[in-house]
Amino acid sequence: MAENVRVRFAPSPTGYLHVGGARTALFNWLFARHHGGTFVLRIEDTDKARNTPEAMQAIFDGMRWLGLDWDEGPQKGGDCGPYFQSEREDVYLRYFEKLRAAGHVYDDGGAWRFKFARKKIIMDDLVCGRVEVDMADAATHPDMTIRRPDGGWIFHFVNVVDDIEMRITHVIRGDDHLSNTPKHLQLFEALGATPPRYGHIPLILNPDGSKMSKRDTGSAVGWYEENGFLPAAVVNFLCLLGWNPKTTQEIMSKEEVVTLFDIANINRKAAVFDIAKCEWMNQQYLMRLTPEQLAEKCEPFLVRAGIMFGTRDALVPVAALFRERMKHLTEAPASMAYFFTEDFEFDAEAVEKALRKPGALDRLRALREAYAACDWTATALEAALKSCATAAGVKAGEFVHPARVAATGRAVGASLYHTLEVLGRERVLGRFERAMKQFG
C-alpha cells in the first residue's frame, strides 16, 4: 500500500467506552501500525447536551489501558487539529459556504438540506465488497439535513469535512454506518474531494443474537480493568471478534497481530461475544506471567481490599502458587488473604467435613509432630504426610483435608505442600495448634 495510510477513531463522549467502539479503535490502530501509517483520535463532541467530562476521560483512560496510543489527537497535538469538533466551527462554516455557493444546499424552514444527486452510488467496500445503492427516489432517500435551525451541525456533514481536513485515507467503522456511506460519498463529490476507502466491520452480538446493550456484562471497557483482566488478554480477545488471522493460533501478542493484520480477513457476518472465552484467554495470559509480574498485577487489588502484605518480595512466592489457577486478578484478595494474617475465618462447611470428622484432630496432631521434625520443603512435607497416613492405615486424604483447613480455613486452594512451604514451619504448626484447640 503505497499511500500514507491515515485512519481515525472518532467517538462521541456521551457515555463509557463501549467494547464495540474499542474494537473499532483497535482495528483502526492495527491497520495503521501494519501499514506504518497514522492513527488519529478525533472527539465528536458537537452534542453539547449529552457530552460529559467523565465520558471524555473514560475514552482516554480506556484506550490507554488497552495500549492503543494515538499519533494525533487530544493531549497529543498534530498538524490537522483541533481534534475536538466543538473547536472546529470556522472549518465547518467555510465548507458550508462552499456548498451553498455551488448550489448544493437549500434552506428548509431554517434548517439547511443537502441536495442529493438522483443516481446510483457504487461502493467498493474493503469488507463488504461491491455495494450498490440507488438514490434516484427522493421518497426513500430524502435530501439530508446538514445544519439545524439553531445552527448546530449534523453528524454526516462534519464527519466528512473532518475526514477531508485530516486527510483520512481509510475509514474502518461498524456496519451500522453502511447506509450512511452513500450520503457521505455524495458530500465528498460535491466538495470536490477524493473520498477515503471504506471498510464496514460486523457488529458484536450477544450469544442469543441480540445487540450488546449497556446492561450486558463486558459491554464497557472499564469493566475489564475493574474485574481483573489484563489489557493484553482483552486486546487479543477483541482482535478475534470478527477478524481471522488464517492460523490456528489464538494467543497472540499485539505485535504478532500487527504483523498478521489484513483487513481482507475481517469476517462479513456478525461477531458473537463470549465472556467465557475472554475469561479463558485472560487465564492463559495470567499463566504466562512470571511470579514477579503477577505479584505486581495483584498488588493494587490487595491494597484495595485492605490486605497488608508487606513488601512485594513477600507477595512473589504467594503469587507463584496461584499463577495457574487465577482467571481474574480480583480473585487475589480472597485467594491470598490467609497468607498475610493469622486472623482468618474458617469455612463452616469445610470444618464440619474435615476437622469434626471422627479421628481428624488426632491425625492433625500426629501430622504436627511429624512436621515439627522434618525438612521444610514441599517434597519433604508431602513425604511426611504420606508416611503418617501409611502408619495410620488410611488414605492420604484423611490427613490432607484436616491439614488444609487448619492451615488456610478452607477446603480448596493451591497445592497444599507448596502452600505450607510458603507459610513456614512456625506459622503452620501454630495454625494446627489453634485448630485443635478451637475445634477439639
Query: Catalytic site residues?
Result: 214
Which triple of cell numbers denotes residue 198? 471504506
Query: What is the distance between the alpha carbons of residues 125 and 178, in angstroms, rounded to a whole number?
Result: 9
Interior CA angle at 264 toward 260 and 268, to 5°?
A: 120
| Torsion angle defined by CA atoms of residues 107, 108, 110 and 113, in that order, rounded to the nearest 10 degrees | -70
Cell 495510510 belongs to: 5
